[in-house]
Amino acid sequence: MSDTGAGWSTSDRAPAAIKLMLAWVALLWLLEVVDVATGHALDGFGVTPREPSELADVVPSAFIHFGFAHLAANTVPLLVLGFLAALTGLRRFLLVCALIVVVDGLGVWLVAPDRTNTAGASGLIFGLFGFLLVSGFVERRPWGVLAGVLIAAVWGGSILAGLAPTQTGVSWQGHLIGLLAGVAAAFLFRRRPRQGRAPLAP
């Protein structure tokens, strides 16, 4: 799927992508300031598994963090991966993010351990990593393939570490589900090659 400006070049999309991701991250930091100022009242918007009322928190949980250190750890990868994904088209990017956030939140609600509270943008980050990793291959775009290889080289180790079940205080389930949702989004929202005009016989 493409934006309304189907003919936009990457340089045209870059300023809009930068503004979008800066605004997104600014919102996360503002919410954490409010959370701290209210005695962590927003932490309740995390997902506690298998409680029907918690389904309302599936989307909000992706915007809430448990402290500034948690948010700081997510800020740079979200900025970079979000910017790169948004370069493929803003409308497409928002659809990809919506799919990842909803699938990840529902997955956490279904499979996370009892009496846990899961929140943060890391599920989305893992999803964007998965999306960028495979979309170039799915669409057979050389630059997309190269971007996926470079992203894997930079963040692959951190992604693998985040999937380890042995880590305490980390929702590896949310990371894994987010990653799989991002891979699925690469297939669901892949860009079709444009059909060229049929040649005319003289």
191: confidence class by pLDDT, cuts 50, 70, 90: confident
% the chain with pLDDT above 70:
90
Q: What was the pLDDT predicted at 201?
A: 41
The arithmetic mean of pLDDT across residues 185-194, rounded, is: 85
Q: What is the pLDDT of residues 123-166, one digit of tens each?
A: 999 999 999 999 999 999 999 999 999 999 999 999 999 999 98
Q: Give me the mean pLDDT over the 70-87 stretch.
A: 97
Instruction: Tell the residue number behind the tokens 């005009």, with chain if given.
Output: 197
- Residue 116 in contact with residue 54, Cβ under 8 Å? no
Mean model confidence pLDDT for the chain: 91
202 pLDDT band, cuts 50/70/90, is very low
- For the whole model, what pTM was predicted? 0.90
Indicate the SS3 state at residue 120: coil
